[in-house]
Chains A and B, each alone.
Chain A
Amino acid sequence: MADEFTAKLDVYLDGELPSIEMKAIDAHVRGCPPCAADVLSRVQMKRATQSAGKRYKPSPEFRQRIQQQIASRPRERMSRAWMTASAVLATLLIAGLVNTYIGREHMKQEEAFSEVADLHVAALASPNTVDVASSDRHTVKPWFQGKIPFTFNLPELQNTEFTLVGGRIAYLGQAPGAELIFQIRKHYVSVFIFQEHAAPELRSGSGVRKHVSFNYETWAEGGLRYIAISDTTGEDISKLAELLKIAAMS
């Protein structure tokens, strides 16, 4: 090891060498075990000195004395400090409560969408995917009469890529609702309709979202909550949602 190089090692470890020299030493140390050992020893020494050097602590009384000595306007500053501290505490408290609330709401929403996804999968996996099998909306809609505590409109699907497969009763949070199954190409889309107050957790922002790889869109119309869910594209879901919204307003 050249003396000149050894002399530079401490400067290198202090991070005070020009970057070009830092890189050169970096490269050298990686390939030179004796220098690597030397660097390690110096690093340990630096750390030990740092730790040993933090030896003395001032007493709280002394700190207070200095604080009083240099405080510009003790009373005013004290009250300002308290006001700042109170404001910070209040903000933290509110932020904590809001975070907890948001966290809890988010968890409830996640659970609700998981349940909806389960209902969709269960229907498709069932040997009887639908209780009323018909592509005719005038057959499917009346089938729900007396079975659910509300009614809804079905869209006209002529000249669209969608076909109505049928419908079945679904329960969410012990409240009955309608599950309508549509087909687009080889994909099935479940559209669930519940009374809005029966599914408060399903309130969500607009547009298509994702949950466990399913695309879904949810919206409210006329006191009813609609959820369209499928493994098809978000664009398909948006189109079907649009058709259902138009039908609901007619």
Chain B
Amino acid sequence: MEVAKDRLTAAAFEELAMPLFDQLYNFAHWLTKERSDAEDLVQETYAKALRGLASFQPGTNFRAWMYRILRNTFLTSRTGLKVASTVPLDADDAPEIPSSTGTPESIFIEKSQEHLLQTAIDELPLHFREVLLLCEVEEMSYQEIADALSIPIGTVMSRLSRARRALRELLQKKLGG
């Protein structure tokens, strides 16, 4: 979703931003874990984005810009500050270990086990949860994720790999594997 116009007008903003509403809300709810907090976060995101239209660089990715505002807003919120303070500082520096997957049968998630998977995603540390959701649910490219989270692509890749490994391990524990 690249905007190539000279200047983003308020009307154009509405046309670009409203189609992202459902997905931004879903992401916000995953971050905050509370409906009312998610609504506040989304509302503030839209308000900030509208106020800061001038800071949007035409030709860059609008979706990643919106996610970046949402995430930064979250990280500076009361809930966000609490969660962020628990993120280990060396999380991205640890050596990357290839993830083991177990047999397809042990990993296969039936629809009925969706709740189990949702609980596992919920239990992931924030920096794993957000990168995983942006990749798998929002189907963002690594570059888009890097833009949205303001981190280098290499970090996106290593974080994603660890997030997947952590999710598999959590699931295997829950499935008694």
Contact = CB atoms under 8 A, between A and B. Distances in A.
Interface of A: 3-4, 6-7, 10-11, 14, 16, 37-38, 40-42, 44-46, 48-58, 62-63, 65-67, 69-72, 77
Given A51-B114, A53-B133, A54-B26, A69 B47 contact: yes
26 contacts: A4-B98, A6-B99, A10-B161, A14-B135, A37-B103, A41-B101, A41-B103, A41-B104, A45-B107, A45-B109, A45-B164, A48-B109, A48-B114, A51-B114, A52-B114, A52-B118, A53-B137, A56-B25, A56-B26, A57-B22, A58-B21, A62-B25, A63-B21, A66-B21, A70-B13, A70-B46
Contact of B26 (A10, A46, A55): A55
Nearest to A3: B98
Interface residues of B, number: 50
Interface string B79-105: 000000000000000001011011110
B104 A46 contact: no
Contacts of B69: none
A56 B38 contact: yes
Interface string B30-65: 100001001100110011001000000000000000
A16 B22 contact: no
Contact of A38 (B14, B101, B137, B167): B101
Q: Give the interface centre of A14, A49, A70, A71 by most chain B CB atoms within 10 Å.
A: A49
Contacts of B13: 70
Interface of B: 9-11, 13-14, 17-18, 21-22, 25-26, 29-30, 35, 38-39, 42-43, 46-47, 50, 96, 98-99, 101-104, 107-109, 111, 114, 117-118, 121, 132-133, 135-137, 139, 141-142, 157, 160-161, 164, 167-168
A158 to B, nearest CB: 72
Contacts of B136: 46, 49-50, 53
A243 B11 CA distance: 66
B114 A7 contact: no
B109 A72 contact: no
A197 B10 CA distance: 61
The SS class assigned to the A binding surface is helix
Contacts of A7: 96, 98-99, 161
Given A10-B161, A16-B142, A57-B22, A71 B133 contact: no
Nearest to B157: A11
